[in-house]
Amino acid sequence: MQIEFSSSAPDVDERALVDESGLALAQRLAEKKARAVAKLNPGALVIGCDQTMVCNQQTFGKPGNLSAARTMLLAFGNCEAWFHSALALVSDEELQAIEVVSTRVQFRDFGSAEIDRYLALEDALDCAGGFKSEALGIALVSSIESRDPSALIGLPLIALLGMLKPYGLHPLQN
């Protein structure tokens, strides 16, 4: 997008609150991450983002290890899942804007051998549900629906550009 930026990974507890929906969790974590970075960078415009996945009414985050990734992925066969990608824009520790872009993913039916092969070839332990649509994970799905195709990768660029435009940070603005 030809916008100068730096990135930071704040130390934020990503565990869900009791009865917190996947959408609410993604939104809360995006804001919490943005506020944490903004606190260390006074005057900066900070973007926080997070993504969760919901399948069969269960919320999934990052698996963290191969065993957890395998267990998660095996549960997704023939499942309709929702990925909630949240963006929060913070300046001087004040929330300026927040948005969640949801993407529907229909996983096809697959077996454990395919999941084992996927995990042997793909490093997706830091992705919601252990699923990476921009790489080999695409072989696990039959369809994807979203108003922002970049949202499934984790950073909804269409929504982000809309948030940044009022600050004169749109790549096509003078």
Residue 19's CB is within 10 A of a number of other CB atoms, namely 6
Closest CA to 23 of 128, 134, 117: 128
Q: Report the pLDDT averaged over residues 114-121.
A: 96
Q: Is the pLDDT of residue 165 over 80?
A: yes
Rounded to an integer, the average pLDDT of 86-108 is: 95
Using alpha carbons only, what angle is made at residue 18 by residues 77 and 89, rounded to the nearest 5 degrees?
85
pLDDT over 70 at 21, yes or no: yes
Q: Where are the alpha helices (DSSP H) in 84-146?
A: 112-121
Please state the pTM of the whole predicted model. 0.91
pLDDT at residue 65 in the model: 95
> Predicted confidence band at 174 (pLDDT cuts at 50, 70, 90)?
low
C-alpha to C-alpha distance for 124 and 19, rounded to whole angstroms: 26
Percentage of the chain with pLDDT > 70?
99
Residue 13 has pLDDT above 80, yes or no: yes
Tell me what the mean pLDDT of segment 51-56 comes to: 94
Mean pLDDT of the chain: 93
Name the CATH topology of 22-167. Answer: Maf protein (3.90.950)
Look at residue 41 and give its three-state secondary structure: coil
Catalytic residues: 50
Q: What is the band of 171 on the pLDDT scale with cuts at 50, 70, 90?
A: confident
Instruction: Name the residue ranges covered by the structural domains of the chain.
Output: 22-167
Q: Return the pLDDT at 58.
A: 93
